[in-house]
Every structure is written in structure tokens, then in C-alpha cells.
């Protein structure tokens, strides 16, 4: 993992000191709430429905056991004994007190973490594939580049007051696990025709009220040009992004208004002016320095243990089911990647208690070389588990309720905090996820359904990524009541697409029933081991519409 050096430590410590002063000015009334707002947002502090919420960065999803213990300490000391992992590799605390925030930031700084730019109209946390450095299909590890971008973006004097927030994701594998095409800027590490690895640059993806899949504006960019090209994109956006309408201020609106070609032309024109300036050069020594932090850990030279695991699996059906759902092949013999599901039945997706955090940290030390990852699907990952340890780890995870065998299945739900916490929400999201989790508990049935993602957002801002769920669920408010609009066919992968509206919205109680109907129809229609998404793409909306609403004309929605 990356470690702060003296410069990084100083920068974060100064930031904490500055914010301490700003909070003091707010508490004495020297700053009004309106003046204070941009300052707290730049430090990750939101004012929510009931209290302040602090959003902490987990850069590109990498976390050490030591850091997780500190997150547990913060949850206990400053919050209500839990934290919530988000879709952008952040952790949120929902009950933070304003006057204690500087102490929380200092506690984070002590373990080389921060909440800088986790909100506000600036470059947000850089996100990446949670299997970076471990995945078998990886072309190149994205983490050193994420760290380079992180540093370039932090406290950028020119780009701290953008028209709107700006999210960057990086993947180094052909299978996209980081929703790269749904970001303001998405980067894929790719070889060019000569076999030299560079970046495919995608711009203008995003969700919210106006969802778009991003456009590729450069098929291949040399690595040494990364910062100058990003600076050119940000500059075109800073100058040309709309500032008159908050809903239209993201770069996706600018890109789609100009057209991707014209946007690319503007970026290239700017880039030509700055690409050779020394201010934006990427010194080889610096990228080598950063890359050295992501060197392979001290893996043991051990043989592949697939035969042992296969025997254990056939002896224990529950272990078999967990392996199939939650264990992923590792690029090194004798090791496996393990997903920890934060989606046990009845649990708010992404929540982890302080006690669970401490125990997970302990397990990470015992079983995963002290390191873990956070995924954009709101789960945790142990990246370096010896295959011979899988069964012991599984047993320990079961006792923590973190072994639900549902990764990628329909109970591995992404959900935003919704009306339970969020001031913007129209409807609750967490209880709907909990209901679905309770409705579909049969493990064998879930595995038969296979890969099927459900994403739930409590409002049009789409923090639960409903547009790109294979099944999306959007909370809407009608006459003071909560209803839910279903969409089908979304994907956040390399085959990214936006879901299509199924029909009229339904009540919360009807949601699990509707999903059951969709799943039943899918199982009747699928060919071979076709995924739900592929069946949907083949047969379209109509069969599912009929399954949910029947053949009769649509009736008025039932009152919830």
C-alpha cells in the first residue's frame, strides 16, 4: 500500500489545522453557515437530515487492518458504533458532531487517511477495481496511477471550484469492476497496437437525473501524458461547464451538448498548449517511487491447493456455495481473493459495526497479509488469502455474518442511505433492500438465478446507481407516499448501459413480488446459462412487463 511521506503528512496535518480554525470560526458565529458550507464540504462534512455526516476517502479502495481499526475507533468514540461503506470507496459516519470533526480528521490523519474533497465541487476520491494487483485478467495495476492522480487532484488551486463534483475511476482489467464508463472521467489501462500500455480516456459518464454512458475521446494516451491530458479536460470543463443550473452542471451535460467530437477537439487544442510544460511532467523517479509501494506482498511460494479446496467443497455444500459465490481466482498460485458480503439478510447494504470492523481487521491480519479492499458494490475484499486457509476464514466470517454467499447475486444490493438518513431522498431505500434480502434467502435458488444486480436509489440523484442495475429501483414520492419505479437492463460494466423503465411505479410491499415475477420469467426464457442481463437484451422489456403487471391494462397503483 501507499504510505505517506513527510510531504503527504504535512499536507494533511495542515489541512486538519486549517479546518479546526474554520470550525472554531463557525462555532463562534464568525462564519455564517453559508460561508462555512464550502469549507466543510471540502473536508467531507455534510449536513444531513438528522446530523452531520462525515465521508472519509478510502483511496482506490485500499485499506490496511490498522486503518480499519482506527475506523472502528472513530465509529465508537465519535459515532453510533457503525460506519457505512458507499459506492465510491468511501466510508460514511452518520452521526458526527461538528465540534468533534477536527478530532476525527486528526484521528484519520494518524493512520494516513483523510476526508479531503470527499464532497464539494472538486475532484472526488479516485476509485479503482477492488481486485487491483490481484486479478487474473489484469493488464496492469491501476493503483500507482490512481495515487498519482490523487495527489495531482488534492488541493488543486485551479480546480477546487468546478461547476460541479468530478469523479474519476481507473481499471487495469478488461472486465470492468469499477463502473469506469459511469464516471466524469474513466480510464482503462490498455495496450496500443505496438503493445505499449497507456490509457483509454472516457469522458462524460454519470448517473443522477441525467444518466449517460461516457464517450471515449482518446483510444490511447501515453502514460507520461496523463496529468497534462487530465488538466486539459478539467480546464475545458472548468471554463465551459454550466454554472447556471445545478442539475446541468456536470461534465456529461457539457460533453453531450457539444458532442464528444467537439469536446475532444477542445481538449486536444488545450492539451497541445500544455502537454510539454514541466509543471505537468510525470517524473519517472516519482512514478517508480509510487509503484514500489504497490509491489507484490510477501506471498509464500506455495503450490496451488485447488484439489484440497475441491475436496472440502464437495464435503460441505455450504462451503461449496460460498466458494462459488464469494471466492475469486488470484493471479498467484496457492492464493485466492475473498469477498466479504456486507449484504446479510436484513442488514442495511454497506453497514459494518465497530465490533465487526475490529474483528475483520484481526482476520485480515491472520488471513490476508493485513490488507483489505472496499468495492464499489459496497462489500469488502481480502485480496491475499491462502487457499488452504479458505475454510477456516469462511467459518470465522460466518460468525461475523459476513459470509452470505451472494456476491453478484440479486441480494448483493447497492442502496443509497435513502430517506432514513438523506435530506434529498424521496423514499426509503434500505428497508426495500432489507425486504428483498429477506424474501430471497434460499441460497440454491439464488445461485440458480446467477448474476443479477439490483441497485436502489431513494431519489433521482441516483446515489444507489439504479440506472445501471440489471434491475434498478428508484424511489419516488406521490402524494406523500413512497413508490418505486423499476428499470431493467442497466449495466455498469465494460458493456455499460442504462436501464429501461418497466412501467408504473409500485408500492414498497409490491417490490419483492415484482422481482420474484421478473426472476421467474427470466428463468423460463433464458437459454443455457445466459445471464439475466443477456436474456433481457435478447427478449426486451415486454415479457417482463407482462410478468409484473399482467396482460390487463395497467391499473391504478395500490395505496402503500
Partner 1 sequence: MGLIREGRLVPDPFTDASGLERLPDGVPLIVSLEQWQTQRSGLLASGQRLGLRLKSDQPPRLVAADLGHFSVIALEFPKYRDGRAYTHARMLRERFKFAGEIRAVGDVLQEQLHFMHRCGFDTFDVAGPDPEKAWRTIAGDHTVAYQATGDGQPRALDLRKGTGP
Instruction: List interacting residues with partner 1 (CB under 8 A).
Output: 3, 5, 7-8, 10-11, 14-15, 17-18, 21-22, 35, 38-39, 121, 151-152, 154-163, 235, 238-239, 243, 273, 277-280, 283, 285-286, 288-289, 292-293, 295
Instruction: Give the nearer residue to partner 1 in terms of CB position, either 163 or 383.
Output: 163
Q: Cell 459496497 appears where?
A: 378
Q: Which three cell numbers stand for residue 265?
A: 477537439
Instruction: Give the nearer residue to partner 1 in terms of CB position, either 3 or 556.
Output: 3
Cross-sheet strand order for the sheet of 52-57: 45-47, 52-57, 90-96, 82-85, 351-353
Instruction: Give the nearer residue to partner 1 in terms of CB position, either 34 or 527.
Output: 34
Decide: 187 and 199 in contact? Cβ < 8 Å: yes
How near is the Cβ of 38 to partner 1 at its closest, in Å?
Answer: 7
Q: What is the DSSP letter of 210?
A: S
Could you give the angle at the alpha carbon of 491 between the alpha carbons of 226 and 222, nearest 5°? Answer: 15
How near is the Cβ of 259 to partner 1 at its closest, in Å?
Answer: 21
Instruction: Give the nearer residue to partner 1 in terms of CB position, either 151 or 375.
Output: 151
Helix (H) or strand (E) holding 19: helix 6-28
How near is the Cβ of 25 to partner 1 at its closest, in Å?
Answer: 9
How near is the Cβ of 33 to partner 1 at its closest, in Å?
Answer: 14
How near is the Cβ of 2 to partner 1 at its closest, in Å?
Answer: 9
Instruction: Give the nearer residue to partner 1 in terms of CB position, either 246 or 318.
Output: 246
What is the rounded distance in angstroms from the CA atom of residue 390 to the CA atom of residue 327? Answer: 9
How near is the Cβ of 141 to partner 1 at its closest, in Å?
Answer: 15
How near is the Cβ of 279 to partner 1 at its closest, in Å?
Answer: 4
Instruction: Give the nearer residue to partner 1 in terms of CB position, either 286 or 442.
Output: 286
How near is the Cβ of 32 to partner 1 at its closest, in Å?
Answer: 11
Instruction: Give the nearer residue to partner 1 in terms of CB position, either 161 or 550.
Output: 161
How near is the Cβ of 247 to partner 1 at its closest, in Å?
Answer: 15
Instruction: Give the nearer residue to partner 1 in terms of CB position, either 50 or 289.
Output: 289
Could you give the angle at the alpha carbon of 552 between the alpha carbons of 549 and 558, nearest 5°? Answer: 50
Residue 53 to residues 43, 95, 100, Cα–Cα distance (Å) = 11, 6, 12
Instruction: Give the nearer residue to partner 1 in terms of CB position, either 38 or 408.
Output: 38
What is the rounded distance in angstroms from the CA atom of residue 171 to the CA atom of residue 188? Answer: 5
Q: Which three cell numbers stand for residue 516?
A: 420474484
Decide: 177 and 195 in contact? Cβ < 8 Å: no
311 Cβ contact partners less than 8 Å away, ≥ 6 residues apart: none
Q: Which contacts qualify for 295-303: CB closer than 8 Å, 24 or more apart?
A: 296/133, 296/332, 297/369, 297/371, 297/384, 298/369, 299/332, 299/334, 299/335, 299/384, 300/334, 300/386, 302/333, 302/334, 302/335, 302/386, 302/388, 303/333, 303/334
Instruction: Give the nearer residue to partner 1 in terms of CB position, either 219 or 269.
Output: 269
Could you give the angle at the alpha carbon of 84 between the alpha carbons of 428 and 62, nearest 5°? Answer: 140
Kind of pairing between the strands at 335-340 and 327-329: antiparallel
Instruction: Give the nearer residue to partner 1 in terms of CB position, either 292 or 307.
Output: 292
Q: Which three cell numbers stand for residue 70?
A: 482506527
Cross-sheet strand order for the sheet of 168-171: 127-128, 168-171, 185-191, 197-203, 215-221
Instruction: Give the nearer residue to partner 1 in terms of CB position, either 38 or 503.
Output: 38
How near is the Cβ of 153 to partner 1 at its closest, in Å?
Answer: 8
How near is the Cβ of 7 to partner 1 at its closest, in Å?
Answer: 4
Rounded to 5 degrees, φ, ψ at 242 are: -70, 140
Nearest to 396 by CA among 427, 432, 439, 367: 367
What is the rounded distance in angstroms from the CA atom of residue 171 to the CA atom of residue 190? Answer: 9
What is the rounded distance in angstroms from the CA atom of residue 166 to the CA atom of residue 122? Answer: 6
How near is the Cβ of 198 to partner 1 at its closest, in Å?
Answer: 20
- Chain-centre distance for alpha carbon 118: 13
How near is the Cβ of 223 to partner 1 at its closest, in Å?
Answer: 15
Instruction: Give the nearer residue to partner 1 in terms of CB position, either 29 or 157.
Output: 157
Amino acid at each position: 500500500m501507499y504510505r505517506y511521506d513527510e510531504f503527504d503528512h504535512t499536507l494533511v496535518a495542515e489541512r486538519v489545522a486549517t479546518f479546526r480554525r474554520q470550525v472554531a470560526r463557525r462555532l463562534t458565529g464568525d462564519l455564517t453557515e453559508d460561508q462555512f458550507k464550502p469549507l466543510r464540504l471540502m473536508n467531507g462534512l455534510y449536513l444531513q437530515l438528522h446530523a452531520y455526516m462525515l465521508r472519509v476517502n478510502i483511496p482506490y479502495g485500499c485499506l490496511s487492518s490498522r486503518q480499519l481499526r482506527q475506523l472502528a475507533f472513530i465509529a465508537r468514540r465519535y459515532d453510533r458504533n457503525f460506519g457505512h461503506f458507499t459506492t465510491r470507496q468511501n466510508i460514511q459516519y452518520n452521526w458526527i458532531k461538528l465540534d468533534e470533526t477536527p478530532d476525527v480528521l486528526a484521528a484519520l490523519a494518524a493512520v494516513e487517511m483523510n476526508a479531503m474533497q470527499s464532497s464539494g465541487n472538486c475532484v472526488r476520491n479516485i476509485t479503482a477495481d477492488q481486485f487491483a494487483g490481484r486479478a487474473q485478467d489484469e493488464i496492469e495495476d491501476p493503483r500507482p496511477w490512481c495515487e498519482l492522480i490523487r495527489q495531482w487532484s488534492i488541493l488543486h488551486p485551479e480546480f477546487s471550484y468546478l461547476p460541479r463534483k468530478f469523479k474519476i475511476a481507473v481499471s487495469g482489467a478488461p472486465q470492468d469492476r469499477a463502473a469506469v464508463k459511469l464516471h466524469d472521467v474513466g480510464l482503462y489501462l490498455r495496450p496500443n497496437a505496438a503493445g505499449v500500455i497507456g490509457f483509454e480516456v472516457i469522458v462524460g459518464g454519470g448517473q443522477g437525473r441525467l444518466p449517460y454512458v461516457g464517450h471515449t475521446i482518446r483510444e490511447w494516451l501515453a502514460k507520461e501524458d496523463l496529468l497534462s491530458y487530465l488538466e486539459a479536460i478539467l480546464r475545458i470543463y472548468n471554463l465551459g461547464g454550466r454554472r447556471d443550473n445545478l442539475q446541468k452542471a456536470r461534465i456529461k451535460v457539457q460533453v453531450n451538448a457539444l458532442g464528444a467530437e467537439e469536446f475532444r477537439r477542445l481538449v486536444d487544442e488545450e492539451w497541445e498548449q500544455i502537454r510539454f510544460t514541466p509543471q505537468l511532467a510525470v517524473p519517472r523517479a516519482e512514478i517508480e517511487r509510487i509503484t514500489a509501494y504497490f509491489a507484490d506482498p510477501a506471498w509464500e511460494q506455495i503450490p496451488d491447493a485447488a484439489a484440497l479446496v475441491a475436496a472440502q467443497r464437495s464435503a460441505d455444500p455450504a462451503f461449496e456455495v460460498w466458494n462459488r459465490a464469494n471466492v475469486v481466482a488470484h493471479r498467484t498460485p496457492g492464493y485466492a481473493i475473498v469477498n466479504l458480503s456486507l449484504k446479510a439478510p436484513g442488514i442495511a447494504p454497506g453497514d459494518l459495526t465497530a465490533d465487526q470492523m475490529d474483528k475483520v481487521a484481526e482476520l485480515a491480519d491472520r488471513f490476508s497479509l493485513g490488507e483489505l479492499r472496499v468495492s464499489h458494490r459496497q462489500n469488502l475484499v481480502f485480496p491475499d488469502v491462502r487457499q488452504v486457509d479458505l475454510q477456516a476464514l469462511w467459518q470465522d466470517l460466518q460468525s461475523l455474518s459476513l459470509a452470505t454467499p451472494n456476491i453478484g447475486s440479486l441480494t448483493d444490493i447497492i442502496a443509497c442511505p435513502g430517506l432514513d438518513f438523506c435530506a434529498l431522498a424521496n423514499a426509503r431505500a434500505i428497508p426495500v433492500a432489507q425486504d428483498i434480502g429477506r424474501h430471497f434467502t434460499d441460497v440454491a435458488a439464488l445461485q440458480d438465478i446467477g448474476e443479477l444486480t439490483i441497485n436502489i436509489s431513494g431519489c433521482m440523484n441516483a446515489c444507489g446507481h439504479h440506472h445501471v442495475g440489471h434491475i434498478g429501483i428508484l424511489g419516488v414520492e406521490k402524494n406523500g407516499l413512497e413508490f418505486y419505479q423499476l428499470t431493467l437492463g442497466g449495466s455498469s460494466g465494460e458493456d455499460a448501459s442504462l436501464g429501461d423503465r418497466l412501467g408504473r411505479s409500485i408500492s414498497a410491499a409490491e417490490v419483492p413480488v415484482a422481482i420474484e415475477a421478473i426472476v421467474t420469467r427470466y428463468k423460463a426464457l433464458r437459454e443455457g446459462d445466459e445471464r439475466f442481463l443477456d436474456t433481457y437484451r435478447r427478449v426486451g422489456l415486454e415479457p417482463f412487463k407482462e410478468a409484473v403487471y399482467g396482460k390487463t391494462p395497467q391499473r391504478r397503483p395500490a395505496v402503500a
